[in-house]
Amino acid sequence: MITAHLPAGYVLGRTAQRYGVNRWLMLAALLGSVLPDFDLIWFYLVDDRAIHHHHYWVHIPGFWAPVALAALLSLRMWAPKWLPPARVFFVAIFVHLILDSIAGSIAWAWPFSDHLFEFVQVPATQSHFIWSFILHWTFSFELIIWALAIYLFAKATP
């Protein structure tokens, strides 16, 4: 997934707003939907692209699952009013990881295996990897997410 993480977060935020009234739900969905890709800063500026950014901890479901569990249990006990946005935040992170699994690769079995799983492998058919992804049939999923997000935004705008 190259372009549709933020629109997917918007779709999640709008869906969450339908089932709960909390002014932080949309922000939590948008932030969680792109947070794993903050590792691109390190990938490009520090690591000099030495290893693929999906190997970093922010793209590892086995890291996020215990963090989410600990955070949600803590909030339930000490700050229950923050529980709905926290739930949406962590769901958005996992939506990001699922979307990356379509044509990217995610270590779903970590810590038991470092193997990266993907549904479809996109062959390098173009001179730049971005064009290989954009011209592959899996990019249609991104276009569908964008269309849904634009539709929901237009529907909400008076």
Mind giving me the DSSP string for 89-144?
A: HHHHHHHHHHHHHHHS-B-TTTTT--PPB-SS-----SSSHHHHHHTSTTHHHHHH
Q: What local confidence, expressed as pLDDT, does residue 73 receive? A: 98
Q: By C-alpha distance, which of 88, 81, 93, 99 is closest to 17?
A: 88
More confident residue, 51 or 108: 108
Structure confidence at residue 158 (pLDDT)? 73
- Express each pLDDT in 13-22 by its tens digit: 999 999 888 8
Rounded Cα distance, 129 and 40, in Å: 16
Alpha-carbon distance of 46 to 17, in angstroms, equals 38
Whole-angstrom Cα distance, residue 62 to residue 47? Answer: 22
Read off the pLDDT of residues 57-70 as tens digits, 9 standing for 90 and up: 999 999 999 999 99
Can you name the residues that pair with 106 across neighbouring β-strands?
Answer: 117
Q: What per-residue confidence (pLDDT) applies to 10? A: 98
Mean pLDDT of the chain, nearest integer: 94
Cite the beta strand spans of 37-109 per DSSP E: none
- 81 C-beta neighbours (distance < 10 Å), count: 9
pLDDT digits (tens, 9 = 90+) for 74-91: 999 999 999 999 999 999
Cβ–Cβ under 8 Å, residues 95 and 145: no
The burial class, CB within 10 Å (0-12 / 13-18 / 19+), for 97 is: buried
Strands (E), the chain: none
Q: Which residue has the tokens 């949309």?
A: 26
Poorest-confidence range of 36-40, 41-45, 98-102, 107-111?
41-45
| Structure tokens belonging to residue 48 | 């000099």
What percent of the chain has pLDDT above 70?
Answer: 100
Start-to-end C-alpha separation, the chain: 31
